[in-house]
A and B are shown apart, each in its own frame.
Chain A
């Protein structure tokens, strides 16, 4: 078949169409009368912020969620999908954002679970190896998933979907966990799938990717469809405006940053893995001065959580001198003692780690602030002081909530994250360690948080930011280092830290080949 090209007139009928699709959870409209048409040989982007209704829409298309109203049409005919297996039998495949894989099963078993099971296991296993080879996505069917890298895990998902020879493939934020180079490889595969006549629904919030890859884009906001457009004719700014609805405040970098003395020094930190499939930190060293933001990039699961645990004191290290805060060796000191020294910590998980979900904000403020504030006196809680902290955080960081002191779990992701970061920043820490400061947060909240981190550094604090979002690090960090298999690279000054260089480091390029191969196989 000849490729008619992206601009070909749409004489064909849509492969998949939703008409007035609505999904209601109680009073909440997750999807409100959404009309969308997807044609064969098209890569269709679905754009929107967290909570815009993208996931609900694709779950409905994949049969996981039943619509409250409206209908789904497949090749022009209305269909009702009672479950994913029915969607799969029509020819709809899905690659999940949070991989739907089973860590303790083998690659072949994982793939088998995604198929209808009519094929004998051995034959399926052989076909799996062939399909993987054919699309340039090498996989060993007999390895257990927990041994594999994130990129390899995604390959399983994609190969599993391809094994069904789908006409229509849904990819939910496929590049969120990939290095830029791995993403490029994925795009080659997607272009090929499109050339084979398949349709692809591509969910993302990375606008440059969408402009580069997609033929059509549908933008959702607050559960409603805002527009369908050709992303190649739009600018990143115009797409962002449609996604967010308002102009986003630009984050202002500091005019000139003055660095002072080293405030956080890590010397040759080696920590054994805490969990079964954890990562060992290997000789991690860096020095962070006051007035400076150091960014740590890397694909998730390369030791970032272990580093955070060691820095915060959730895990103690034997030699105190491996972690030095403001000149004091504290590797063996508890998290409370470190807080008293002026350090503050914001973990990645805001619900469950950063806050106790069922406790009020004032109680959550107390949980990290009790050591170094007026919130506790002679062992008794000063309720007025905890409420004052909540009010101050709310005002300064524009935290939106239904009442003065609600449960942490009742806040939206962005607002809770503003509270968690704000709670620490208002203590004017000497050292702030923050992990994924804007993960899953809407663009407006992300801008406020980033600006607050920059301002904190400008005021003389040392700020360590770990993030998977390269654009975020390039925007706010003075220097960027990369974590790979528990090793931390040299920090690159911002001017030298291009996406390409960082991407190579994230893939382990700086290590010598043997060590990298060993680490990958361990």
Chain B
């Protein structure tokens, strides 16, 4: 099964963080991949996920921040 993905690239701040927060609350646990294109959104999503007990693996590729969140 494909990892659920939230592609929030192209959205202006703080929309990506808000969507990621909603998605994490909806999933409660499992794995979520989040694609972002700003450091601000990356920092916000990382903080929100960490505070909610998710582990975070981050990769950067050609201007995209890929966060894999697991709980």
Do A and B interact with each other, yes or no?
no
- B-side interface residues toward A, CB under 8 Å? none
